Every structure is written in C-alpha cells, then in structure tokens.
Amino acid sequence: MPDKVLVAMSGGVDSSVALLKIVEMGYDAIGVTMKLWEYHDVGGNLLDDSNCCSVGAINNAKLVCDRLNVPHYTLDFTDVFQKSVVDNFADEYLAGRTPNPCVRCNSLVKWDAFVQQADKLGAAYIATGHYAKVQHLKGSSVLKKGRDTLKDQAYVLWGIPAHTLSRTLFPLGDLTKEEVREIARKNKFETAEIPESMEICFVADNNYKRFLKEYIPEKMSEIGAGEIVDESGEVVGEHSGYTDYTIGQRKGLGLSTPEPRYVSNIDPSNNQIRIGKKESLTKDNCEVSGVNWLVDNMSFPCDIQAQIRYNSPVIDATITQKDHQFSVEFAQPQIAVTPGQSIVFYKNDIVLGGGIIEKNY
C-alpha cells in the first residue's frame, strides 16, 4: 500500500499542482482545505475566489481533487488559527511591532495542527505548495530554498518544528511559478489562472488598519492621535495612532522636510513615533527571540547568512549566544531591522533556523 499524504489545498494554483505531483509520485493523496477563519469574523468579501478560505477557493480545491480522483475534506482549524495567529497579529501591532502572521501560521497551524491531523488519519507525510525543498537524508531532513529564487518561500518556514521536516514534502521545490502555471493550464485545472495573493489571507483587502479597528474596536478606540518627534526628541508633528506605522515607513507622515524622514522607532506606551534620516535607520545588531533550529549541532559564534524581510537579499552575519539569548551582528549595517519580523539564518541554500527580531542597536 502506498503511503498516505495529506495535501494542504488552499484552492490556488500552487497547491493544485502540488497535489498533482503527489499523485504522480504514486502516493495515496488526501486533499485537505484548512478552514482557518470566517469572513464574518474578519470582514472582507466571502465570494472572492482568489482568497483562501473563501467558499469559491474551497470549491476550486474540491474540483481539482475530483479531477484527480482524490478525496477532499474541508477541516476546521478556526480555533487554533485565531488563538495562534490572528490574536497575536493584533497584539503585536498593539505592542508597536510589525508581525509576520504567515510564519506563525506555518509554525503553529500548518506544521503542528496539520501534522497531528496526519497522525490521526494514518498519513505518513504532509505536502504543501510552498516553493521550498526538503532533502531527506539518512537520519535527518534539511530544509532548503526553492529553485525559483523569486518565489522562494523558505523564509516563512523557519519556525516549523524540526521533527516534522522528515514528514514534509514540497513537490514544487524544483519548479518555477511559471512552470507551475503551465502544468495547471495543461491539466485544465480550474485554478490555473487564479492571481497571486500577496496579502495576509485574513486581511483580504490588504487594509490592516481596517482589520484592527473591526477586530479589536475597544483597544483601537483608545489609541488616538500622538506626537511625532525627531532624533533630538523635539515634537515635529502629529500622527494618527502608533499602530498605523511601521519601522522604515516614509510615506503618510504628513511632514515636509528637505530630506526624507523615516519612522525609526515606535513607542506604544507614549503613543509616540520617532523619525530620523535614513542613517538613523541603519543598525549593526539585533537581538532575536523564539529561535528555532532546523539543524543539529549548531555552535556559536557562527558565521551565517541572514535575511530580515521576505524577499530582501541575504546578508553575511554572525550569531552569538549568551545565556540562551541569541544576538546577530550584521557584516554591514542594515536598514529597517524591524521588531516583530522574522530573521532567517542560512548556510548557502540550507535553512538553519530563524527567530523574531526583538531589539535592534
């Protein structure tokens, strides 16, 4: 009997082709759409097919599965998603930080709840349509960047529990997005032309300010206008509330300065935004929390490459460890080292692990 594989089906083109590949590899595939949230909880357009968790997306997933004669189930993960991802998303903004909900979803929902589900259904593996690779070696499995450098999603996978790597398949790791679309077209998948969704799935209109206002109305109503101060602490303007800003932001400050100014610090306790020139944004170091290692036998200090934003270039850096606290020193100063965002560590194309940027200096 072939191994069972639980394939996460978002209803998009990537997961459709991932399923096809799993079927072609001879596995016994089971398509599962993880229902993560309800539109009436988060706002947005229920009938927009391009968003996962919409009725249209779920129906698309079902059609593709049916085409491949694969059973499809929509399973409810709304409770764990809300607790682990959505609540945290709101809390992070309230704390003046810029969260990365996709990372938390992968770490806590897709590679925790979903693997548990696989266990319960007797599935040996889970598979997703991420552009990344897992190399299964004797006794260990290694996460690597995908072949398509533009689409590579290894950055959002640093937090998955290391022991689940051996249970993970990424059928798209050696394909480019264009190749994936071509395969979908050839197979006449209903999902072949569905546009890329770049926004956060539960903020379908890409308006996180609207989302926060609706999701935590009381807390948001307490945050009013506040001061914008410059590097010397002098008040130079007024802002609409600190949650509206992220580190490195230039637009929407309502200031007319001869040289561009950027948000360099967010102080939630005083509802204060500090701005500065571009130089004030560059930092040499950061402290990292919640570190997750995907490889064994790391020793410190360690020279690695780091990535501090999705799709930003990797940079040489050194990790040091002191009393369980990890710090990273960049080879060159970096702009917008943003608390709340993920920092991911690589050795060439191998993902070593990652963590959350806590402080910069």
Partner 1 sequence: MSIKRIYCDISATTPLDPRIGELLTDLNEHIYGNPSSIHREGQAAKAVVEKSRRQIANAINAQPDEIIFTSSGSESNNMVLKGVLRSGDHFITSSYEHPAILKVLPFLESQNIETTLVKPDKNGMVQPADIEANIQENTRLISIMWVNNELGTINPIFEIGSIAKEKNVLFHSDAVQAFGKIEINTEEIPVDYLSMSAHKLYGPKGIGALYKRGGTKLDPLIHGGGQESNLRASTENVGGIGGFGMAAELSTTNLEENTEHILRLETYFLNLLNEQNIPYSINGKKRIPGVFNITFHGVIGQDLVLQLDFLGIGISFGSACASGTVKASEMLVEMGLTKEDALSTVRISFGKIHQLDDVKKVAESIGEILKINVEEFANHAG
| Contact in structure between 3 and 109 (CB atoms under 8 Å) | no
Near partner 1 in 218-257, by CB under 8 A:
none
Near partner 1 in 67-86, by CB under 8 A:
71, 73-76
Minimum distance from residue 191 beta carbon to partner 1 (Å): 17
β-strands 72-76, 28-35 pairing: parallel
Tracing tokens 């002191």 back to the chain, one arrives at: 322
**How big is the site for partner 1, counted in residues (CB under 8 A)?**
16
Minimum distance from residue 76 beta carbon to partner 1 (Å): 4
Minimum distance from residue 46 beta carbon to partner 1 (Å): 9
End-to-end CA distance of the chain: 56
Site for partner 1 contains 175 (CB under 8 A): no
> Which among 30-38, 234-242, 271-279, 294-302 is the span making contact with partner 1, rule CB under 8 A?
30-38
Cα–Cα distance, 358 to 288 (Å, whole number): 5
Task: Report the 10 Å Cβ neighbour count for 186.
Answer: 10
Active-site residue among 53, 65, 201, 286? 201
Candidate list 3, 25, 43, 55; residue touching partner 1; CB under 8 A: 55
Q: At a CB cut-off of 8 Å and minimum separation 6, what does 144 contact?
A: 132, 133, 134, 135, 154, 173, 349, 350, 351
Minimum distance from residue 84 beta carbon to partner 1 (Å): 18
User: Closer to partner 1 at the Cβ: 4 or 278?
Assistant: 4
Q: CA torsion, points 166, 171, 173, 174, in degrees to nearest 10?
A: 130
Question: What is the per-residue binding string for partner 1 in 94-133, x denoting contact by CB under 8 A?
Answer: -------------------------xxxx-----------
Whether 302 sits among the annotated catalytic residues: the reply is: no
User: Closer to partner 1 at the Cβ: 78 or 285?
Assistant: 78
Type of residue at 212: L
Minimum distance from residue 307 beta carbon to partner 1 (Å): 35
Minimum distance from residue 214 beta carbon to partner 1 (Å): 20
User: Closer to partner 1 at the Cβ: 34 or 175?
Assistant: 34
Residue ranges in 258-302 assigned as alpha helix (H)? 278-281
User: Closer to partner 1 at the Cβ: 78 or 280?
Assistant: 78
Site for partner 1 contains 35 (CB under 8 A): yes
> Which among 51-59, 209-217, 264-272, 337-345 is the span making contact with partner 1, rule CB under 8 A?
51-59
DSSP, collapsed to helix, strand or coil, labels residue 165 as helix
User: Closer to partner 1 at the Cβ: 127 or 273?
Assistant: 127
Whether 201 sits among the annotated catalytic residues: the reply is: yes
The secondary structure of 34-66 as a DSSP string is EE---HHHH-S-TT-TTSTTSHHHHHHHHHHHH
Tracing tokens 């770049």 back to the chain, one arrives at: 198
The secondary structure of 197-210 as a DSSP string is P-S-TTSTTS-HHH
User: Closer to partner 1 at the Cβ: 79 or 259?
Assistant: 79
Active-site residue among 53, 65, 102, 105? 105
Minimum distance from residue 10 beta carbon to partner 1 (Å): 13
Cα–Cα distance, 144 to 155 (Å, whole number): 10
Site for partner 1 contains 333 (CB under 8 A): no
Residue among 346, 341, 336 at smallest CA distance from 356? 341
Tell me the C-alpha to C-alpha distance, in Å, between residue 223 and each of 41, 119, 213, 235, 268: 22, 45, 10, 18, 9
Residues that bind partner 1 (CB under 8 A): 30, 33, 35, 53, 55, 58, 62, 71, 73-76, 119-122
- Give the residue numbers marked as catalytic: 105, 201
